[in-house]
Chains A and B, each alone.
Chain A
Amino acid sequence: MTLLKVDNISKSFNTLQVLQNVTLDVQPGERHVIIGPNGAGKTTLFNCITGQLPLNSGAVFLEDVEISKLPPNKLVHLGMARTFQKNNLFGDLTVKENLHLALTALKPYRYQLFKPLSNYSDLKKETEELIEQWQISDRQNVKVDNLSYGEQRLLEVLLALASKPKILLLDEPTSGMSPAETAQTSEMIQKLPRSVALLVIEHDMDVVFAIADRITVIHHGEVILSGTPEEVRNDDTVRQIYFGGGAKAHA
């Protein structure tokens, strides 16, 4: 069964057509990477899939259930989580407290009013598991504002992972990172279990080819090509988009 199906969606802001009849799908466990030049509409596509923006036409299905009109918070409960291009964290809280907030979202006691959060042992346990798994125990009590940029990007992913999603949408996980941090993040993404499918927007081609099972190229809001990394690497149109029309004139 197809996990995520984006069916022919379009989105415009006033007269500006940002997405035009975009169709793509993600299979369970698949690593699907979306590439395309700046302004191609990649983040808008994410915002449309995750309910941050309403669609003009088309529909989105998660496990054959239409989710196009659901708000972002409902989607988390259906198994879809996302990260943001710009770090979107709780800067005043510690790493641990950030994880607590992320983990509580799916707990039945999230409406519990008068019992201390610290009394819930399952929450404590799951937090520790995450901290251990990603080896951040030495940073767990540090205020997020005091983390390095790369560490914040990692936490961004961990918060989304906390809901144990079936599909995780990563919006430029390596944006603004140093080469070393980028390599680390790429490695981390490859380490994610296959129980979670990934839909990733990425600019760094090393990262793209390291993680992708399939690549979809978007240009001016339209899908140009969707195929294996090999197909995309050898495609002329893609080369033109990335190396510009000038190359074609000379060729």
Chain B
Amino acid sequence: MKNNLFIILILIISVSGLPFLLSGFGVDLATEIYIMAIFAMSLGLLMGFAGMVSLGHAAFFAIGAYTVAILGQFINNVYILILSAIIIAGLIALLTGSLFIRTSNFYFLMITLAFGQLLYALAWQLENWTGGADGMRVSATLDFGFGEIASPLAIYYLMGIAFIFVYILLKLFVNSPAGRIIKGIMENPSRMAALGYEVRVYKLLVYSLAGALAGFAGSLYGYFNMFVSPDLTYWKFSGEVMIMVIFGGVGTLIGPVLGAGLFIILQNFISSYTERWQLILGAILVLLVLVGKGGIIHWFGYFKEKFIIRKGTKNVETSKPIEEEREVIT
């Protein structure tokens, strides 16, 4: 619990303090990172807490973004738009999920991939609604009832607050009865059924929640980017967010956040030197997977074990460090 408050405090301090250190471009980049962090956390929830590896998660992000773009032409109300983005993405996740969760492992990966590609084709084909391959501008304005939020700094803080809000929400979720049960189902579904749990209900629950959150991230992205295109639901984008999760560390919440940050910074940094940034990013990914001990977040645990815990724990039971480490990283 102390650790949780500590992490949240660090997040609040960094979100509020960063603009004083960053240039205008840096603030923009950080804003994008917050949005992607929400998106990455939603996939991280699926992958690391429910064991459901989806390669079509961008579909829900795109649903959120397109909801703001399409509905925003008729209703310019930020509350209604973001709420409908969340609800539509969540509902579609619920409907498709009720079919998808019957599969597992590779089949789940393939069917979610196919779903993402299906939406990609739809976004491409339904030109009258989506603008087809050209994408469409977002005309809705960010106005919560006290004037339009237009300055990059204000948008930065808005996304920062949304990010911290989602982090706290997910933190509560993974420690709630339902969250613990979902983790138990990931580890041992047959035993969970034998203990009396409705395994499918929980899988559907977490899939819908992750879909709704991705929709939320997508709606924020629509407002931030002012433009949406079919690429948002292309499998490559789903793959990128999966890389963010793996970069940061599967099985934790803060891991995907760090992964999103590192990914976007590297992408911008390397691509300013060479067009072949993907080659370098790929090499880094390979290196991280091979020697990274399961993502950046685990370096902290490793570091702590090596340099901090070591001092006073010579006589402590073997079970103790495991527990402490786990508390840090979840």
Interface membership of B17, Cβ < 8 A:
no
Cα distance A93–B181 in the bound complex, in angstroms: 12
Interface membership of A195, Cβ < 8 A:
no
Interface membership of B29, Cβ < 8 A:
no
Cα distance A242–B180 in the bound complex, in angstroms: 46
Q: What 7 new A-B contacts, CB under 8 Å, besides A90-B184, A102-B195? A: A73-B194, A88-B188, A90-B191, A113-B179, A114-B169, A116-B172, A163-B196
Q: Is the CB of B180 within 8 A of A94?
A: no
Interface membership of A54, Cβ < 8 A:
no
Q: Is the CB of B195 within 8 A of A76?
A: yes
The verdict on A110 contacting B181 (CB below 8 Å), with A94-B323, A117-B175, A117-B176 known, is yes
Chain B residues whose CB sits within 8 angstroms of the CB of A109 once the complex forms = 177
Cα distance A104–B195 in the bound complex, in angstroms: 9
> Which residue of chain B lies nearest to A77 when distances are taken between CB atoms in the complex?
B196
The verdict on A92 contacting B178 (CB below 8 Å), with A76-B194, A105-B196, A105-B197 known, is no
The verdict on A91 contacting B177 (CB below 8 Å), with A72-B194, A142-B319, A143-B322 known, is no
Interface membership of B274, Cβ < 8 A:
no
Q: Is the CB of A113 within 8 A of B195?
A: no
Cα distance A76–B193 in the bound complex, in angstroms: 9
> Which residue of chain B lies nearest to A159 when distances are taken between CB atoms in the complex?
B195
Q: Is the CB of A115 within 8 A of B196?
A: no
Residues of chain B at the chain A interface (Cβ within 8 Å): 169, 172-173, 175-181, 184, 187-188, 190-199, 205, 317-320, 322-323
Interface membership of A243, Cβ < 8 A:
no
- Contacts of A70-85 to chain B: CB distance below 8 A: 71-73, 76-77, 81-82, 84
Q: Is the CB of A101 within 8 A of B184?
A: yes
Interface membership of A134, Cβ < 8 A:
no
Chain A residues whose CB sits within 8 angstroms of the CB of B188 once the complex forms = 88-90
Chain A residues whose CB sits within 8 angstroms of the CB of B179 once the complex forms = 113, 117
Interface membership of A100, Cβ < 8 A:
yes
The verdict on A114 contacting B176 (CB below 8 Å), with A94-B319, A142-B319, A146-B319 known, is yes
Q: Of B177, B205, B323, which one neighbours A120 at CB under 8 angstroms?
A: B177
Cα distance A92–B197 in the bound complex, in angstroms: 19
Chain B residues whose CB sits within 8 angstroms of the CB of A194 once the complex forms = none
Chain A residues whose CB sits within 8 angstroms of the CB of B181 once the complex forms = 101, 104, 110
7 residue pairs of the A-B complex, CB under 8 angstroms, read A94-B323, A102-B195, A106-B196, A110-B177, A110-B178, A143-B319, A162-B195
The smallest beta-carbon distance between B234 and chain A, in angstroms, is 32
A-B interface, 4 closest residue pairs, ranked by CB to CB distance from nearest: A76-B196, A105-B196, A114-B172, A105-B195
Chain A residues whose CB sits within 8 angstroms of the CB of B175 once the complex forms = 116-118
Cα distance A160–B191 in the bound complex, in angstroms: 10
Q: Is the CB of B172 within 8 A of A110?
A: no
Q: Is the CB of B193 within 8 A of A71?
A: yes
- Contacts of A155-180 to chain B: CB distance below 8 A: 159-160, 162-163
Q: Of A71, A100, A102, A113, which one neighbours B173 at CB under 8 angstroms?
A: A113
Q: Is the CB of A92 within 8 A of B187?
A: yes
Interface membership of A68, Cβ < 8 A:
no
Q: In the complex, which of the residues B169, B176, B205 has the most CB atoms of chain A within 10 Å of its own CB atom?
A: B176
> Which residue of chain B lies nearest to A95 when distances are taken between CB atoms in the complex?
B319
Q: Is the CB of A88 within 8 A of B194?
A: yes
The smallest beta-carbon distance between B220 and chain A, in angstroms, is 21
Interface membership of A107, Cβ < 8 A:
yes
- Contacts of A55-72 to chain B: CB distance below 8 A: 71-72
> Which residue of chain B lies nearest to A112 when distances are taken between CB atoms in the complex?
B177
Cα distance A118–B176 in the bound complex, in angstroms: 8
Interface membership of A216, Cβ < 8 A:
no
Cα distance A104–B179 in the bound complex, in angstroms: 12
Cα distance A182–B160 in the bound complex, in angstroms: 59
Interface membership of A50, Cβ < 8 A:
yes
Chain A residues whose CB sits within 8 angstroms of the CB of B187 once the complex forms = 90-93
Chain A residues whose CB sits within 8 angstroms of the CB of B173 once the complex forms = 113-114
Chain A residues whose CB sits within 8 angstroms of the CB of B169 once the complex forms = 114
